[in-house]
Amino acid sequence: MSETVNIRNREAATPFALNAFIAIGSDDVVTLIVNKSEMGQGVYTSLPMLIAEELECDWSKVRVESASVGSVYNHTAFGLQMTGGSTSVSSEWERLRKAGAVVREMLVAAAAETWKVERESCRAEKGRVIHVSGQALTYGQLAAKAATMDPPKEVPLKEPSAFKVIGKPMHRLDNWEKVTGTALFGLDATTPGMLTAVVARAPVFGGKVKSFNAEKAKAVPGVQGVIPVEAGIAVVATNFWSANLGRRALEVLWDEGPLAKLSTAGMREEYANLAKTPGAVARKEGDPDAAFAKAAKQIHAEYEVPYLAHAMMEPLNCLVDLRPHSCEIWTGTQFQTADRDAAARVAGLKTQEVTLHTTFLGGGFGRRANPQSDFVVEAVQVAKEVKKPVKVVWTREDDIKGGYYRPMWYDRITAGLDPKNNLIAWQHTIVGQSILKGSPFEEGPTTDGIDGTSVEGAEDIPYEIPSVLVDLHSPTIGVPVQWWRSVGHSHTAFVVESFIDEVAHKAEQDPFGFRRKLLSGHPRHKGVLELAAQKAGWGTPLPSGRARGIALHESFGSFVAQVAEVSLDPPGKVRVHRVVCAVDCGRVVNPNTVEAQMESGIVYGLSAALYGAITFKDGRVEQSNFNNYPVLRMNEMPNVEVYIMPSQEQPGGVGEPGVPPIAPAVTNALFAITGKRIRRLPIRSEDLEKA
Amino acid sequence: MISLQVNGKKYEVEVPPNTPLLWVIRESLGLTGTKYGCGISQCGVCTVHVNGEAIRSCVTPVSSVAGKEIVTIEGLSADGSHPVQQAWMAEDVPQCGYCHSGQIMAAAALLAKNPRPSDTDIDRAMSGNLCRCGTYQRIRRAIHRAAEMMGKGGQK
């Protein structure tokens, strides 16, 4: 581990901006401007590492600032300023190293000019430029002059063999703020004269206010106003608690709209019926009909997974200070450009009149990247009426009931084996809402009626099967849905990796060996599968009552295999003892982050596998808080071991790829214990009785 | 007027007596290190010390702690030097960081009573503190490390 640095976002001397990402003060403090949102995944450390590698700065002098909104900070592939898709490192890999190299060259040029020597006689090292004679100037001493230098057009980047920072386990730069309570999250932001609002939203998605009586709400001390907005009725007060009490006292009559009778049971029936009919074809290979006709054995199963809430520890919130010609916003968002533009639209301002401050995010998991900018739009609507700075706060109940869930899915899947138990045919029908349909992002990734995020991880299975058909139904339901950490993979990995396990057992083969045999042309898949199996001691004896399950999945440019050791202890209660995780995410920037993200993904996926479900009855979400939407706790935490495959490949993602394999790894282990296949999540106790 | 003693300082606040301590700390006193997560004592991000006990400030009426000694994350140390904070940094525990004020306060209260907690003791003391980023394994390591530091005569 590198030496501990205390970054403490200290006040630096007025820094000289050398480019959009780097500013250096006369006090030698190097401010690195990070254009990605820090939501736990470690970008405030890994992205500075990319810059520092080429800048040759003193790491102990680095501080981090979140970027303002500007096209210079747009995602290099997506053209918007945003954080998502596990792409922060891969998309900034070239740009930030170049940014560092360019500034290093400007500093060296400034020193050479100061000393009237050849540029080639100077070198940059740990925050100083040093001349062959031994004389040296610090970056702080050079910054003012360097800022006047022309940035070089072309800069060579280091060969990986010369890396000094990239690939080394580095401590997080945001540790100190986060252990002292000084890190500023959206909910902590304040501005003078600020009011606080909570919004009474319809109990059913698509519902509208019919009428309301504000009298009792207004009688609550501290309540300043009761204001209708698009989503419902905002109760505005001098403080959160008064707003909350005001909302409890508020009387609203709702027109519940077309979803007033929505129920999970009804939806499930509709989905199951749809799954029996052919959908839009996402992938067709070989001749599935003919292959099934000649199959000696057919294996068939139906799988289902529920809606899931993201349930970040910090519920949504957004502070807006709206003035006649300006709008200032503080919030933890993953979607700066979209949020700024939406705020400008609602406020009737030009986009350049909107300033958005990205705070730390108390978790994101996709919820804070809302294509409709729901929590920002609503806050600006409230601010427009209040005419004072106002922070809209979502309670935990608002958050759990607030929609934009991972969709519910229903899958029908069939495999065909030839007489020698070779897998020759695969047919997979998927039913579930598209998260892109009807959103501003419908155009790009949706082709021929197929939302790529609905079939990812299913249409691109790595197993070499001669005939494959994957088709999709995307019913319109009206429940707001959105990306949820690992997106489509959170569902498809469970189905595919459970079913391939079923097929292996029907083929009377070891689940690890069966997979391995089907991956001859997929070395990176095979590599992590073998590594996980070896480290987990696959095939070696375990204490009685314990079993292993294995799963493998590629997502976001990375390959992850996990082996879970599971028992039922006490009977009927799933206990995951150990998870061995092998990851190939290409070239690693901060191994410490990679490990942490695998641990994190496993816990997130395990919470969903064991407990996660948003269900509907009479149009209403039945869950409200952590008492009925439970998540994993300390006493349930398995020992997680992470093994990183050495790789020279382009960097892949790490924020999401740890999630998909854990549910099937656990349910495959449960099958090994009980002989009963778990085909629906979350795992229910009645599904754990022995077959 | 309710008299409070927070982090060694005296405050007079004018709020309804049933107001949860959490919101008084955050909004009346401006100490935002203590977080809101659930409001029903399910997640522990609002954990503070009252007379040395770790309590959930989101369900504690402010009137019930008048005159008692309240410590928030800001009062644990002025500079992050408490062994639990030091151990947290050494193990790179935080991810998003939102739950860690509460986690650290819970861990500090545990170690004050039980200087060498076993894994079972840690499970018992810490299972009320949720972390959606899944930092539990590192929390466990950091508590053991802090115990070691304190045993060797580390600060406080």
CA–CA gap between residue A646 and residue A585 (Å, rounded):
9
d(CA A27, CA A139): 9
Question: Two tokens at A228?
Answer: 């209708």
- Residue at B97: amino acid letter: G
Report pLDDT for A444: 62
Place A9 in a pLDDT band, splitting at 50, 70 and 90: very low
| Closest-approach residue (CA) in chain A for B61 | A241
- Euclidean distance between CA atoms A306 and A320, whole angstroms: 34
Domain presence at residue A11: no
CATH number at residue A545: 3.30.365.10
Distance of CA B142 to the CA centre of its chain: 15
In chain B, residues with a C-beta closer than 8 Å to the C-beta of A6 are 80
Q: Identify whether A398 is part of a domain.
A: no
Q: In this structure, what token pair is assigned to residue A352?
A: 């350049």
- Distance from A183 to chain B by nearest Cα, in Å? 8
pLDDT reading at A10 higher than 60: no
CB A27 within 8 A of CB A13: yes
Same domain, A176 and A204: no
Mean pLDDT of A247-273: 98
Q: In whole angstroms, give the CA distance from residue A341 to residue A71.
A: 12
Two tokens at A668?
Answer: 């495959």
Residue A8 has pLDDT above 50, yes or no: no
pLDDT classification of A447: cutoffs 50, 70, 90: low
Amino acid at A259: L
DSSP letter at A651 equals P
A332, A367, A393 - which closes a domain: A393
Count CB neighbours of A389 within 10 A. Answer: 19
- Contacts of residue A627 in chain B, CB cutoff 8 Å? 40, 42
Structure-token match 């319809």, residue found:
A202
A477 and A506 fall within a common domain: yes
Residue located via tokens 């309670």 = A395
Check if the beta carbon of residue A558 is closer than 8 Å to that of residue A585.
yes
Task: Give yes or no: residues A269 and A360 share one domain.
Answer: no
- Give the pLDDT confidence score for residue A2 in this predicted structure: 37
Residues of chain A by 3-state class (helix, strand, coil), percent to 5 = 30, 25, 40
pLDDT of residue A440: 80
d(CA A606, CA A574): 11
Q: Of the candidates A358, A393, A428, which is a domain's last residue?
A: A393
Strands of B53-56's sheet, edge to edge? B9-13, B2-6, B69-71, B47-50, B53-56
Where is A211: in which H helix or E strand?
Answer: strand A208-213
Kindly indicate the confidence band of residue B156, based on its pLDDT and cuts at 50, 70 and 90: very low
Among A300, A294, A373, A283, CA closest to A333: A373
pLDDT by residue (tens digit) across A533-558? 999 999 999 999 999 999 999 999 99
Q: Do B34 and A637 touch (CB under 8 A)?
A: no
> Could you tell me which chain B residue has the CA closest to the CA of A179?
B85
One domain for residues A85 and A155:
yes
Residue B77, phi then psi, degrees to nearest 5: -160, 155
DSSP letter, residue A151: P
* Dihedral of the alpha carbons of B117, B119, B124, B129, in degrees to the nearest 10: 100
Q: Which residues contact residue A409 at a Cβ distance below 8 angstroms, ignoring those fewer than 6 apart? A: A271, A303, A304, A305, A430, A431, A432, A491, A495
CA of A524: how far to CAs of A462, A585, A586, A601, in Å?
10, 10, 10, 20
Q: Are residues A670 and A602 in the same domain?
A: yes
> Domain span at residue A156?
16-180
A7 inside domain:
no
- Tally of structural domains, chain A: 3
* Secondary structure in 3-state letters for chain B: CEEEEECCEEEEECCCCCCEHHHHHHHHCCCCCCCCCCCCCCCCCCEEEECCEEEEHHHCEHHHHCCCEEECHHHHCCCCCCHHHHHHHHCCCCCCCCCHHHHHHHHHHHHHHCCCCCHHHHHHHHCCCCCCCCCHHHHHHHHHHHHHHHHCCCCC
Nearest Cα to Cα of residue A120 among A136, A108, A138 = A108
Please state whether beta strands A326-331 and A354-358 pair in parallel, antiparallel, or not at all (unpaired): parallel
B92 to chain A, closest Cα gap in Å: 6
What is the average pLDDT across A505-524? Answer: 97
**Minimal C-alpha gap between B32 and chain A (Å):** 6
Domain-located, residue A400: no
Nearest to A175 among B73, B94, B127 (CB): B94
Mean pLDDT across the stretch A418-422? 96
pLDDT tens digits, residue range A106-115?
Answer: 999 999 999 9
User: Do A295 and A326 lie in a common domain?
Assistant: no
Between B153 and A282, the higher pLDDT residue: A282
Closest Cβ opposite residue A178 in set B28, B97, B132: B97
Show the 3-state SS of A266-300: HHHHHHHHHCCCCCEEEEEECCHHHHHHHCCEEEE
Residue A3 has pLDDT above 80, yes or no: no
In 3D space, the residue among A88, A72, A92, A89 whose CA is nearest the CA of residue A80 turns out to be A72
- Distance in angstroms (rounded) separating the CA atoms of residues A526 and A630: 35
Report yes or no on A580 lying in a domain. Answer: yes
Do both A367 and A446 map to the same domain? no
Q: Read off the pLDDT band of B152 (50, 70, 90).
A: confident
Q: Hey, what amino acid is at B2?
A: I
**Comparing C-alpha atoms, which of B55, B68, B69 is closest to residue B22?**
B55
Calculated CA dihedral for residues A327, A330, A335, A339, nearest 10 degrees: -20
Q: Across all residues in chain A, what is the average pLDDT? A: 96
Query: Per-residue pLDDT tens for A383-398?
Result: 999 999 999 999 999 9
- Judge whether A45 and A170 are in contact, CB under 8 Å: yes
Local confidence band at A434 (pLDDT 50, 70, 90 cut-offs): very high
From A5-9, A583-587, A653-657, B3-7, the region with the lowest mean pLDDT: A5-9
Query: pLDDT tier at A6 (50, 70, 90 boundaries)?
Result: very low
What would the pLDDT profile of A317-350 be if each residue is shown by its tens digit?
999 999 999 999 999 999 999 999 999 999 999 9
Q: Mapping DSSP to helix (H, G, I), strand (E, B) and coil, where does residue A682 land?
A: coil
Q: Are the beta carbons of A453 and A445 closer than 8 angstroms?
A: yes
Q: Are residues A227 and A291 in the same domain?
A: no
> Which of A38, A170, A238, A313 has the highest number of chain B CBs within 10 A, making it the mutation to test binding with B?
A313
d(CA A318, CA A390): 8
Q: What is the average pLDDT across B86-109?
A: 98
| Nearest CB partner across the interface for A626, out of B16, B38, B127 | B38
Cross-chain Cβ contact A632/B99 below 8 Å:
no
Residue A302 in any domain: the answer is: yes
Tokens 């084996």 sit on residue: A417
pLDDT at A11: 55
Residue B47: per-residue pLDDT: 98
Among A3-17, A103-117, A282-296, A676-690, which stretch is predicted with the lowest mean pLDDT? A3-17
The verdict on a CB contact (< 8 Å) between A240 and B27 is: yes
Cα gap A618→A600, rounded to integer Å: 35
Of B75, B90, B59, nearest to B9 by C-alpha is B75
Asked whether the beta carbons of residue A396 and residue B40 sit closer than 8 angstroms, the reply is yes
Strands (E), A534-683: 546-555, 558-568, 574-584, 616-617, 620-621, 639-644
Best probe of the A interface among B63, B137, B149, by most A CBs < 10 A, is: B137
> What HEC string does A236-253 produce?
EECCHHHHHHHHHHCEEE
Is residue A227, in this structure, part of any structural domain at all?
yes
What single-letter amino acid sits at A20? A
Asked if residue A503 and residue A380 are part of one domain, the reply reads no
Q: In chain B, what are the domains? A: 2-75 (3.10.20.30), 83-151 (1.10.150.120)
**Cα A499 from Cα A415, distance rounded (Å):** 9
ipTM of this complex? 0.97
Same-domain check for residues A368 and A420 = no
Angle between helix axes A374-386 and A336-347 (nearest 10 degrees) is 30
B27/A596 Cβ within 8 A: no
Cβ of residue A598 closer than 8 Å to a chain B Cβ: no
What is the pLDDT confidence band of residue A438, given thresholds at 50, 70 and 90? confident
**A14-64 residue pLDDT tens:** 788 999 999 999 999 999 999 999 999 999 999 999 999 999 999 999 999
The mean pLDDT of B124-135, rounded to a whole number, is 98
Mean pLDDT over A129-141 rounds to 98
**A2 is a domain residue:** no
pLDDT in tens, A200-232: 999 999 999 999 999 999 999 999 999 999 999
Residue from the list A176, A601, A633 with its beta carbon closest to the beta carbon of B130? A633
A156 burial class (0-12, 13-18, 19+ CB within 10 angstroms)?
Answer: exposed
A273 and A175 belong to one structural domain: no
More confident residue, A502 or A437: A502
Query: Is there a single domain that holds both residue A70 and residue A215?
Result: no
Q: Which of A365, A393, A421 is the last residue of a domain?
A: A393
